[in-house]
Amino acid sequence: MALDYDRIAQAISFKTGDGQGFDSFALDIESTAIHKVSRRNAALATLSAKIRTLVGPSYALGAIIPSPVGIAKQTGFWNGFPYGYVASAYDVVVPMGYYTYHGKGAAAAAADVGGSLRILRQQPGCADVPVHLIGGLAGKTTPAEVGAFARAARASGCIGASLYSWSATSEGEWNALRVVGR
């Protein structure tokens, strides 16, 4: 945890030559290096509290979390994921929905969004948490699937939606994502 915290602190405090820095930070929460879930959740809480203390209450923090649909499908991966704690400790939850891992076609992409948001919203403390949904691998999808994903994310009340990674996102996929901001 000390190494993770040091790297996070360095990223948050990074400044360019002309004094520019990051407006926010999002923690990637997916490691299962700590095998016992109760210890993993406790370590997450400790690290999260240290980060919040470092940045203060007005600095925007995001929690990049595993796909709620993926957690539900993969028994034993992270049973007892601390959704409520994450929603209380971070300003926005960023699920790695990754519909590209869970099916093919526009209907499957939209269904994956609905499933992830339904699971997340049912968790204590998560009914109104701001959500930015990551849809999946840009190189493994189509503009039609991205369009269905983006429309479903918007209809579900997500504040944003994106793909991984920006460099693999095609022009057609960028165009399909535009619906989220409208």
What does the alpha-carbon distance between residue 77 and residue 80 come to, in Å, rounded to a whole number? 9
CATH code 3.40.50.10380 for 25-181:
no
Can you give 140-165 as a three-state secondary structure string?
Answer: HCCHHHHHHHHHHHHHCCCCEEEEEC
What pLDDT is stored for residue 76 in this prediction?
84
Mean pLDDT (the chain, rounded): 95
Q: DSSP class of residue 49?
A: H
Residue 181 has pLDDT above 90, yes or no: no
Residue that the structure tokens 């948490």 belong to? 129
State residue 163 phi and psi, 5-degree precision. -120, 165
- Which tokens hold the place of 27? 């923690």
Residue 136 has pLDDT above 90, yes or no: no
- Which tokens hold the place of 119? 């699971």
Task: Please check whether residue 168 is in contact with residue 182, taking contact to mean a CB–CB distance below 8 angstroms.
Answer: no
- pLDDT tens digits, residue range 82-108? 999 999 999 999 999 999 998 899 999
Q: In which band, very low, low, confident or very high, does the pLDDT at 133 lie, cut at 50, 70 and 90?
A: very high
What pLDDT is stored for residue 182 in this prediction?
66
Tell me the whole-structure pTM to 2 decimals.
0.94
The set of residues, in sequence order, having a beta carbon less than 8 Å from that of 86 and lying 6+ positions away, is 29, 44, 48, 63, 65, 93
What pLDDT is stored for residue 1 in this prediction?
83
- Which tokens hold the place of 38? 């109760």
What does the alpha-carbon distance between residue 110 and residue 98 come to, in Å, rounded to a whole number? 11
State residue 157 phi and psi, 5-degree precision. 90, 15
- Provide the residue ranges of all domains of the chain, joining segments of one domain with +: 25-181
Q: In which band, very low, low, confident or very high, does the pLDDT at 142 lie, cut at 50, 70 and 90?
A: very high
Looking at residues 46-71, what average pLDDT do you find?
Answer: 97
What pLDDT is stored for residue 150 in this prediction?
97
Stretch (H or E) spanning 66: strand 60-66
What does the alpha-carbon distance between residue 112 and residue 153 come to, in Å, rounded to a whole number? 10
Looking at residues 59-78, what average pLDDT do you find?
Answer: 93
